[in-house]
Amino acid sequence: MLRSIKETQGYNIVARDEEFGKARDLLFDDEEWIVRYLVVDTGKWIPGKKVIIPPNQLGKPDWAERIFPVKMSQKAIIEGPALDADEPVSRRYEKKLHSFFGWNPYWLVGVPENVVMGQMTHAEQESRGGASENEPEPEEETDLRSSDEVMGYHIHATDGSIGHVEDIIMDDEDWRIRYIVVDTRNWLPGKKVLVAVSWVHDIKWLDKEVYVDLDRVSIKDSPEYDPSAPINREYEEKLYDFYGRPRYWI
């Protein structure tokens, strides 16, 4: 089922029947458009520490009661690698976190096993431009973005500005992001529409701008999105038929 990411903010986080925080944000991969981590506001439970949990470590969410159950214990989470609340999530930290809990790193899918297990020979490191044993490991960039930060980014159609990002819609089965919700009130008072992430052709992160390959008139005339109604397949078919775009579910 498709769900609003903004709506998940404030969900209770429960680790084996022990509440230890609330959902504050979701970190998504801006290359794959998939949620990689849930950011937990631990408040009084773990003051000053940022806690991130991958979706595969969650039990079945209770959407009605607004609860994200976690498979790990509160003690294990507290003892995990520390990350200051204001510190960004680096690849170095991700490696430390995944190693501590024994998780399979998502960024190594498709990489040869000897590389995954850290068994590269010196010659292989040299051929890949890697560091030698005596050199510090270079810091790698990640493609992680805060969903909370993206809210409010300006949307640009092919012929001008059209509004801003009001929300992000994900699939609660695989945590893939399917749509951004565009609030067009700066141009079309009161109307909200959906734009599939596959129609986004550029994002200027420093300028907080999202560029889509649709013109303003098409967006203006597209099926209106009602946040109070669930997004069903009938609505999605209507949306894709309107734009004449291939459907992601086929």
Distance CA 79, CA 106 (A): 22
Considering the four listed CATH numbers 1.10.3720.10, 3.20.20.10, 3.90.1150.10, 3.90.50.10, the one that applies to the domain covering 2-108 is 3.90.50.10
3-class state of residue 196 by DSSP: strand
At residue 138, the pLDDT reads: 55
At residue 20, the pLDDT reads: 84
At residue 115, the pLDDT reads: 45
What CA dihedral angle connects 233, 239, 243 and 249, to 10 degrees?
-20
**What pairs with residue 163 in β-bridges?**
155
Distance CA 157, CA 163 (A): 9
What are the structural domain ranges in the chain? 2-108, 151-243
3-class state of residue 176 by DSSP: strand
At residue 188, the pLDDT reads: 66
What CA dihedral angle connects 204, 208, 213 and 219, to 10 degrees?
180
pLDDT of the chain along its 250 residues, tens only? 999 999 999 999 998 778 888 999 999 999 999 999 999 988 777 777 889 999 999 999 999 999 999 998 888 888 899 888 888 899 999 999 999 999 999 998 765 544 444 433 333 334 444 444 445 555 677 889 999 999 999 999 999 999 999 999 999 999 999 999 999 876 767 789 999 999 999 999 999 999 999 999 999 899 999 999 999 999 999 999 999 999 999 8
At residue 117, the pLDDT reads: 42
Residues 205-222 have pLDDT tens digits of 999 999 999 999 999 899
3-class state of residue 34 by DSSP: strand
Q: Same topology for domains 2-108 and 151-243, yes or no?
A: yes
Q: Who contacts 119 (Cβ-Cβ below 8 Å, separation ≥6)? A: none
Full-model pTM: 0.86
Please determine, looking at this structure, whether the domain spanning 151-243 carries the CATH number 3.90.50.10.
yes
At residue 143, the pLDDT reads: 86
Tokens of residue 183, six digits: 């609030």
Residues 24-64 have pLDDT tens digits of 999 999 999 999 999 998 877 777 788 999 999 999 999 99
Distance CA 20, CA 160 (A): 45
Comparing CA positions, the residue from 239, 184, 240 lying closest to residue 216 is 184
Distance CA 119, CA 96 (A): 17
DSSP type of residue 132 = P
CA 199 centroid distance within chain: 17
